[in-house]
Amino acid sequence: MALYEHVFLARQDMSAQQVDALIEQYKGVVESFGGKVGRIENWGLKSLTYRIKKNRKAHYALLDLDAPAAAIQELERQQRINEDILRYLTVSVEAHEEGQSAMLQKRDRDDRPRRDGDRPDRGPREDRGPREDRPRRPREDRA
């Protein structure tokens, strides 16, 4: 069996529980063909770069699959006819990544609270004089 990473985008008006139900449904499809589902990541509701079928946001989900090609074909066929799925992508990989995906690592990094000590002190701006001492450059439109 081959290794795959499968990502799909579900409509924005679905609840998180409905997205989890979709994930379980597709997990059952893969397992019915003798495949295995490894890591499952629900990336949550994210903004789309451009509108897809009148949606500006979508629920993203990632599945690491170890399945035969027939299971992938059936999974994609079911997602093609499901109106709740906006897009899907399956990529064959040599090995699955260990740990969290880059998307979850980014979300964890963005969600952590900022502290005052995160930025170094820039210090005083002694290299510039007061604003009045600096000569004004003529503007292009003032000729």
Helix axes 69-81, 16-32, angle to 10 degrees: 140
Distance CA 139, CA 141 (A): 6
What domain count does the chain have? 1
Condensed to tens digits (0 to 9), the pLDDT of residues 52-88 reads 999 999 999 999 999 999 999 999 999 999 999 999 9
Between 40 and 127, where is the model more confident? 40
Which stretch of 6-10, 37-41, 126-130 has the lowest confidence by average pLDDT? 126-130
Residue in this structure with the two tokens 């906006």, named with its chain if needed: 86
pLDDT score at 138: 73
Read out DSSP for 23-74?
A: HHHHHHHHHHTT-EEEEEEEEEEEEEEEEETTEEEEEEEEEEEEE-HHHHHH
Mean pLDDT of the chain: 85
pLDDT score at 61: 94
39: domain CATH number? 3.30.70.60
> What is the span of the domain harbouring residue 8?
2-96
In a domain, 106, yes or no: no
pLDDT score at 5: 94
pLDDT score at 101: 78
Reported as a pLDDT band with limits 50, 70 and 90, residue 109 is low
In a domain, 111, yes or no: no
Reported as a pLDDT band with limits 50, 70 and 90, residue 137 is confident
In a domain, 112, yes or no: no
Q: What is the DSSP letter of 117?
A: G
In a domain, 137, yes or no: no
pLDDT score at 71: 94
In a domain, 135, yes or no: no
pLDDT score at 89: 96
